[in-house]
Amino acid sequence: KNEVEQSPQNLTAQEGEFITINCSYSVGISALHWLQQHPGGGIVSLFMLSSGKKKHGRLIATINIQEKHSSLHITASHPRDSAVYICAVKRGGSEKLVFGKGTKLTVNP
């Protein structure tokens, strides 16, 4: 079993829909990252969080440390949000990230 599991693997939505991507992990962590990989291949860091919730524009990330679960929400989705979203966790005492397999999101106009 992978240390980091994401669901769903693939997600197709219509423009304007509310999107939720989930990430569960099985180890104790010091931080969790959400990354976005564009169709061209570039990777952008969206959030790093260790507790609670963070918001940036239409993106919201939450984490529940007790339940070992994080969610990434996109409000009012747009075709430009189409990308692969990757969850990664960091254990205490190390800067090493362990990655989920990613969720491929397609938002249709």
Partner 1 sequence: DAGVIQSPRHEVTEMGQEVTLRCKPISGHDYLFWYRQTMMRGLELLIYFNNNVPIDDSGMPEDRFSAKMPNASFSTLKIQPSEPRDSAVYFCASSRTPGTGPGANVLTFGAGSRLTVL
- Token look-up 């190390």 returns 94
Residue 36 Rama label (left phi>0; alpha psi -120 to 50; beta): beta
Q: With binding defined as CB under 8 A, does residue 3 bind partner 1?
A: no
Please choose, out of 20-28, 43-51, 58-66, 75-83, the segment that lies near partner 1 by the rule CB under 8 A. Answer: 43-51
Q: Look up residue 94 and give its two tokens.
A: 């190390």
Please choose, out of 18-26, 28-36, 57-65, 71-79, the segment that lies near partner 1 by the rule CB under 8 A. Answer: 28-36
Give DSSP secondary structure letters for 91-103.
-TT---EEE---E
Q: Which of 45, 64, 106, 108 binds partner 1 (CB under 8 A)?
A: 45
- Contacts with partner 1 by CB under 8 A lie at 31, 33, 35, 41-45, 48, 86, 88, 94-102
